[in-house]
A and B are shown apart, each in its own frame.
Chain A
Amino acid sequence: MDGQLWLNVVDIFHAAVERPEEERAEFVIAACDGSEEIRTQVLAMLDEDRRGVSWLRDGVAAAVDRAFEDMRHSLPFVPPERIGLYERQEFLGRGGMGAVWKALRIDTGQPMAIKFLLPRDRLSEMWRRRFADEISTLARLRHPYIVSFHDAGVLDDETPFFVMDYVEEYVRGMRFTAYSRLPGRSIDERLRLFRSVCEAVLYAHLQGVIHRDLKPSNILIAKDGTPRIVDFGIARRLQDAGEAADATSPSLRVMSLDYAAPEWKYEGQVGVCTDVYSLGVILYEVLAGRHPFRQQTQPQGFTPGEKSDRLPEKPSAIVLRERSADSQPGLSRWAWRDLDKLCLTAMHPDVRQRYASVESLIRDIDHYLNSEPLDAQPRMLRYRMGKFVRRRRRAVLASAATLLLVLSMAALFTWRLARERNVAVAEAARVLYIQNFMNNLLQGGDQDAGPEANLPVTAMLDRGMQQAAALRGEPLIQSDIYQTLGTISQKLGRLSQAESLLQKALSDRESLKDQDPAGIAATQIALGLVYADEEKTQAAEQLVRRSLDELRSRAPGDASLQGEAELALGTVMVTAGEQSQALGELAQAVKTIEAADGPQSPVLARALGKLADAQIYAGDYDAADAFNRRALAIDRAVYGETYPHVAEDLGNLAQTQETRGYYAQAEQLEREALAIMEKWYGPDHPETARKLTTLASTLIYEKKNDEADNLLRRALAIQQRVYGPQHPHVAYVLNSMGAVALGEKKFSEAEKDNLRVAEIYRQSYGDGDYRVGVALGNLASVYQAEKRYPECERMLLDVVDRFTRALGAGNIQTGMAQVRLGRTLLYEKKYTAAAKYSLAGYESLSKQMNPGSGWVQGARHDLVIDYAELREPDREKQFEAVSAAPHIQAAR
């Protein structure tokens, strides 16, 4: 009805009520002048007027009263005027847990807020006694955005209370969401405000305290516009109390279910992720202006049922639809896409797809604010693993490759944290602690200073040991750190240090009263792998098998760890030379890990890589190739296209191709790998140099010596600059340069290169190390090409001797050196000695290598000549026969 029509209706109505009742209908019909609409309206109004409309007025009052009846029961409790040190002042408000009163601390005159927990009769006796102790733990929390606890106690009537900061509010009763949405605030400003809340929550998590009941009404706004989170950890205490008092409805009394994560609501599982979820819902309200599962933004007290484990509408959809009320001009579709993702990742109903920690949530907020791509955006799993490293990419760029190792391990911790569905609070805090510890390792403990560019590994490990030693009160964390440091040492080739660290971690874990079978097994696995590296294969296999047995009997649920144990066992078997058994064990590991962690876990990629290696050994290159490709696909999904692990996978694929003689394919793969390294580390990084060298060696096979030489010179310049002239990394490049020079018949250059390699290895690893032998062997090749046979002979005799001492008489390297020595002696026409070494080499190699290989065939060919010259026709024939029927030999 429009305004004019309404005025007509009102006029006729007033005129009608002036008349006696029985005349009114007739009057109205006449006055309406044929308008049925006016007539119907006025007649209805007259009817109501006759009945009386006072019910309307009373009804409104009653309805309003009823609407607020929830708030009615709060005042019967009035605390005494003096409570210990405090003088009670005015009533401030009430929440789900109790009533809050302002109070004055008498000695200091400071205003405080006291919360009295109600209703009193629901709290168990035992809980009341423990209450003050518990609060004092929480009182450790000191953060500018957290309302601190100061004191706690019980009144004479046993009402528990605690004393906290009094917050002079920006506007009394105005909560976080409303404040953040005040008109004129940009999305960025709202996010920054939200971020400061996250900061405070993260701080608490690092202290091992989880809020459990984050919601807008628990976030006050102080006079200066900064947030103050109240009731940290209280929900936990109250839930414990609720469970004791009323086991059938734990926590429902105090928790606000609108902001509670599904796994917490339905299964009672709590971790840092629980708070992440609540923060996500709050962020949703900050962005969209309303609760994701409710139509109206209203505070607690309302049960949404089982709705919140579905995904809500995207915040952007709501904002765009309701643009009139809250327009945010200038936000692009892409910006909204990120905001949607950020928010819905934080409040994802599935823990595994949620941000694993508040830290990662903050990181993505920062990404958004800095217009960087979100970690959460491309793919969840990839985000999980990669985010840690990506954020510290500069740290990685600035320092040596060791850092990547440490970072990858830290990322693995993040991933493990996310993998655990049942993260206990303590567990979560521990993992966070380790993550933090890793950070500090890299950053020299100073968060603002950035990484030390040339932090020596030793210094880094020493610092880690010191920190670990200081953690005597936290044996679990201490063992975790020893184990982590041990694994780092192992990867860096410091095996004895790794061994002692891991042994310490293991004995510490075993001596704990509450043994953690999974933790013990994990340490056993790590230690077993170190033993394997130390060639203590028997001890290694024993230990890993023991861990596997323990896992199967004491922690049968932990299939992931079982898979890792199987992987370790397979790895140990490879080291022990039990190739065929290893193949079976690794295949089993792949199966177990895939079943436990799904098809895209980084551990699975590692297992597939091992299995591929084993297949190469077994000669099944197709299988190896297939496994390597799967590993590559996983790493691409997990880490993204441009990540060093992906380059490593490409390198493995290239190696298989190279072994099969497919040099062009190998070259292509190496180039892809190099491109990744250049992009990730930049053109002047040692890791890039390493890939330059690998590509060059493939090019050498293809006789593309010019390009190989160019690449190697680049690599050499980098490695010398980074590591100095006397470093194995430099030697590695020089080794390939020697090969190029030899191929180009630049003998003196080749000689110089190889001599330098030998010298570097001697200084780095000691004179007895087999690598010195490798370098001298290459030097011998130069002499041989120059036809300087006596020098070559002397050199190879030395090499055979070195390999025999360092690696054993039956070793493949020894065998190859023997074959080469035999060839040299043959050239010198010293047939007796030649036959001796060729035979020894032949016998050794034909056991270990494909009989068709050049080494075996070459030795046999030499032996035929030797025995012919020595006039030993029987032996000559024996080796000729083999030569005449190579296919038989090959089939044997």
Chain B
Amino acid sequence: MSQSAPPRIPSLSGDEYKAMLRMAESLHRRCPSWTLSPTALVHEVLIKVHAWPGLPPSSDPHFMALAARAMRQVLVDAARKKLEVKKGGRLKFVPLTERAQRTTLSPVEFLDLNQAMDELAKMNARHGFVVTYTSWFGYTIEEVAEMLKVSTKTVQRDLRAANAWLASRVSGTPEK
């Protein structure tokens, strides 16, 4: 078979790969019960990312945002798959009252949240980034501040506003 079109997969020792592996490892720490290894997760992400045109190099801050989005996509896909299995259902908002007692997200809410994350990232890329890396990938506020070259205070403020908004979206507060 010809190898005429070398695929643009980052080499596994490259910076992009390391960056993503770190992401996956952090995620992995948060979900110790799964055996999907960080490496395997990165590969899932790589496959996703490489379906996208124009992937920037890892030195580009944009790369981490893209990679994060891909990683999030992998997680959401898995959740969506489960949801389809269970309900064959569509996404819908869950009324506030039902949620009050719960401490976790239903699969539907999880997918709603994902949608809201996309909106958030569109309104403000940094806010989206901060939430993704903390809430989703389990990075500490310091780590995120370091990545973004901003103060931890800024990250905290971003996070508080973004989370409040996300919670309102997921809880079904109507938007005008």
CB-nearest residue of chain A to B76: A67
Give the distance in Å from the alpha carbon of A10 to the alpha carbon of B3 in the complex.
51
Interface set, chain A 689-729, CB cutoff 8 A to B: none
Known: A6-B123, A93-B40, A192-B1. A184 touches B8 (CB 8 A): yes
For A13, what are the chain B residues with a Cβ–Cβ distance below 8 Å? Answer: 161, 164
Binds B, one of A45-53, A500-508, A544-552, A803-811: A45-53
For chain A, which range describes its interface: under 10, 10 to 19, 20 to 34, or 35 or more residues?
Answer: 35 or more
Known: A13-B161, A184-B7. A55 touches B102 (CB 8 A): yes
For B134, what are the chain A residues with a Cβ–Cβ distance below 8 Å? Answer: 57
Q: Which of A9, A60, A94 contacts B105 (CB 8 A)?
A: A60
CB-nearest residue of chain B to A294: B84
Interface SS of A by simple majority: helix
Binds B, one of A71-79, A343-351, A522-530, A675-683: A71-79
Interface set, chain B 70-120, CB cutoff 8 A to A: 75, 77-82, 84-85, 102-105, 107, 109-110, 113, 119
For B27, what are the chain A residues with a Cβ–Cβ distance below 8 Å? Answer: 64
Are A325 and B51 in touch, CB under 8 angstroms?
yes
Q: Which of A68, A184, A226 contacts B78 (CB 8 A)?
A: A68
* Closest CB in chain A relative to B36 CB, distance in Å: 5
Give the distance in Å from the alpha carbon of A858 to the alpha carbon of B113 in the complex.
103
For B170, what are the chain A residues with a Cβ–Cβ distance below 8 Å? Answer: 56
Give the distance in Å from the alpha carbon of A64 to the alpha carbon of B7 in the complex.
30
Interface set, chain A 1-24, CB cutoff 8 A to B: 1-3, 6-7, 9-10, 13-14, 17
For B44, what are the chain A residues with a Cβ–Cβ distance below 8 Å? Answer: 173
B13 within 8 A of A: no
CB-nearest residue of chain A to B40: A173
Are A64 and B160 in touch, CB under 8 angstroms?
no
Give the distance in Å from the alpha carbon of A6 to the alpha carbon of B164 in the complex.
13
Are B51 and A326 in touch, CB under 8 angstroms?
yes
A62 within 8 A of B: yes
A66 within 8 A of B: yes
* Closest CB in chain B relative to A74 CB, distance in Å: 5
Interface set, chain A 655-671, CB cutoff 8 A to B: none
Are B77 and A296 in touch, CB under 8 angstroms?
yes
Known: A53-B163, A172-B43. A59 touches B176 (CB 8 A): no
A-B Cβ contacts below 8 A, count? 193
For A641, what are the chain B residues with a Cβ–Cβ distance below 8 Å? Answer: none
CB-nearest residue of chain A to B9: A171
B23 within 8 A of A: no
Give the distance in Å from the alpha carbon of A64 to the alpha carbon of B44 in the complex.
15
Give the distance in Å from the alpha carbon of A44 to the alpha carbon of B12 in the complex.
45
Query: Per-residue 0/1 for A459-489: is the Cβ within 8 Å of any B Cβ (1 yes, 0 no)?
Result: 0000000000000000000000000000000
Query: Per-residue 0/1 for B1-34: is the Cβ within 8 Å of any A Cβ (1 yes, 0 no)?
Result: 1111101110010000000000000010011011
A174 within 8 A of B: yes
* Closest CB in chain A relative to B19 CB, distance in Å: 16
* Closest CB in chain B relative to A458 CB, distance in Å: 43
CB-nearest residue of chain B to A184: B5
* Closest CB in chain B relative to A623 CB, distance in Å: 59
Known: A10-B161, A53-B163, A183-B53. A67 touches B168 (CB 8 A): no
Binds B, one of A34-42, A423-431, A780-788: A34-42
Are A173 and B107 in touch, CB under 8 angstroms?
no
* Closest CB in chain B relative to A17 CB, distance in Å: 7
A196 within 8 A of B: yes
A495 within 8 A of B: no
Are B1 and A174 in touch, CB under 8 angstroms?
no
Query: Per-residue 0/1 for A212-242: is the Cβ within 8 Å of any B Cβ (1 yes, 0 no)?
Result: 0000000000001110000000000000000
For A17, what are the chain B residues with a Cβ–Cβ distance below 8 Å? Answer: 160
Interface set, chain A 638-664, CB cutoff 8 A to B: none
Q: Which of B35, B135, B168 contacts A41 (CB 8 A)?
A: B168
A455 within 8 A of B: no
For B160, what are the chain A residues with a Cβ–Cβ distance below 8 Å? Answer: 14, 17, 49, 53
Give the distance in Å from the alpha carbon of A729 to the alpha carbon of B28 in the complex.
82
A352 within 8 A of B: no
Are A178 and B40 in touch, CB under 8 angstroms?
no
Q: Which of A67, A75, A192, A289 contacts B79 (CB 8 A)?
A: A67
Are B175 and A41 in touch, CB under 8 angstroms?
yes
Interface set, chain A 825-852, CB cutoff 8 A to B: none
A874 within 8 A of B: no
A881 within 8 A of B: no
Are B84 and A302 in touch, CB under 8 angstroms?
yes
Are B104 and A62 in touch, CB under 8 angstroms?
yes
* Closest CB in chain A relative to B51 CB, distance in Å: 7
Are B35 and A71 in touch, CB under 8 angstroms?
yes
Give the distance in Å from the alpha carbon of A394 to the alpha carbon of B85 in the complex.
53
Give the distance in Å from the alpha carbon of A6 to the alpha carbon of B127 in the complex.
11
A249 within 8 A of B: no
A58 within 8 A of B: yes
* Closest CB in chain B relative to A788 CB, distance in Å: 77
Query: Per-residue 0/1 for B33-53: is the Cβ within 8 Å of any A Cβ (1 yes, 0 no)?
Result: 111100110011011001111
For A41, what are the chain B residues with a Cβ–Cβ distance below 8 Å? Answer: 165, 168, 175-176
Are A64 and B75 in touch, CB under 8 angstroms?
yes
For B109, what are the chain A residues with a Cβ–Cβ distance below 8 Å? Answer: 59, 63
Query: Per-residue 0/1 for A850-875: is the Cβ within 8 Å of any B Cβ (1 yes, 0 no)?
Result: 00000000000000000000000000
Interchain residue pairs with CB less than 8 A apart (13)? A3-B123, A9-B161, A48-B167, A49-B163, A62-B105, A63-B105, A64-B136, A67-B79, A171-B43, A173-B43, A179-B7, A184-B7, A192-B1
A residues engaging B (CB < 8 A)?
1-3, 6-7, 9-10, 13-14, 17, 36-37, 40-41, 44-49, 51, 53, 55-69, 71-72, 74-75, 93-94, 171-174, 178-179, 181-186, 189, 192-193, 196, 224-226, 289, 296, 298, 301-303, 325-326
- 3 smallest CB-CB distances across A and B, nearest first, come from A59-B105, A45-B164, A48-B167
